[in-house]
Amino acid sequence: MTSPEIKPVHGRGRSRIFTRVLALVVATALLGGCSSISNLFGNKDEDLPDRPADQLYNEGLYLLNDKHDNKKAAAKFEEVDKEHPYSEWARKALIMSSYAYYNGAMYAESIAAAQRYITLHPGSPDAAYAQYLIGSSYYDEIPDITRDQARTQKALDALDEVIRKYPNTEYANSAKQKLEFARDQLAGREMMIGRYYLERRQFTGAINRFKIVITQYQTTRHVEEALERLTEAYMSLGIVDEAQTAAAVLGHNFPDSPWYKRAYTLVTSGGKTPTENKDSWISKAFRKVGLG
């Protein structure tokens, strides 16, 4: 019997990684099949409560691949777990239900199924994939920076779990890419709030936000602007030493940045030059990650 094709899923967060993994799952799913998938729905005993696990599983594949009905496919995979809870088919069906929900943008359901899979089968080879589905589900729901970023933080935590627990899998590489976007999103949120405070001359509040970017999201694209904004805020407060340090660190790490040109002009207009104070929290933060 020929395995039904799992086609690539398009859209953010849906990479070839899903196609390759599911192809392996599908291949094992058909070992117990005795008739073609198209004939599975015509069996006279379809309504009997204890249909074979492989039959239910293959019906789910048919709904997923041929009918493109993710919701019904997920429900069919869940039937396997309900009617044959301790079988190998139930294990495979659980991860497939998570994928079907994810493929249908039913993220809460996908996360629930994947979390249940990890709880029941933590040592399974597919546990890494389940964790990746959790992270990808949160990732696909990341809002713009004007909204609450709780979902983004959950995406970051779940993706970091993939990298930490399954570093040698292909999921780890994909998770790293998504993780960088999630971190950039959180840094962007802090920058937005920091600019808000800075425009209203609430300098202490602004500094606190820019400090978060420097200490927690230093590898994101926002760090250059954060250093320049710190220069502005500290100069406005008359804390010139810290302003000089922010400008000096910015120039040392990003000498060609337009943000450095702004910071340099700001400091020199006050009769000072960018000079780093090694005891400043800014210097220590950059030395901590090896950028200073």
Domains of the chain as residue ranges with CATH: 16-141 (1.25.40.10), 187-288 (1.25.40.10)
Task: Convert the pLDDT of each residue in 95-142 to its tens digit.
Answer: 999 999 999 999 999 999 999 999 999 999 999 999 999 999 999 999
Q: Note the pLDDT of residue 287.
A: 79
Assess whether pLDDT exceeds 70 at residue 255: yes
Mean pLDDT on 219-231: 97
- Predicted TM-score of the model (pTM): 0.79
Per-residue confidence (pLDDT) for residue 69, from 0 to 100: 97
Question: How far is it, in rounded angstroms, from Cα 127 to Cα 124?
Answer: 5
- 25: helix, strand or coil: helix
Other Cβ atoms less than 10 A from the Cβ of 184: the count is 17
Tokens of 277: 């104070």
Task: Tell me what pLDDT residue 29 has.
Answer: 47
CB 270 within 8 A of CB 235: yes
The residue ranges of DSSP E strands in the chain, in sequence order, are none
pLDDT tens, residue by residue, 28-78: 444 444 444 444 445 544 454 578 999 999 999 999 999 999 999 999 999
For residue 32, the 8-state DSSP code is G
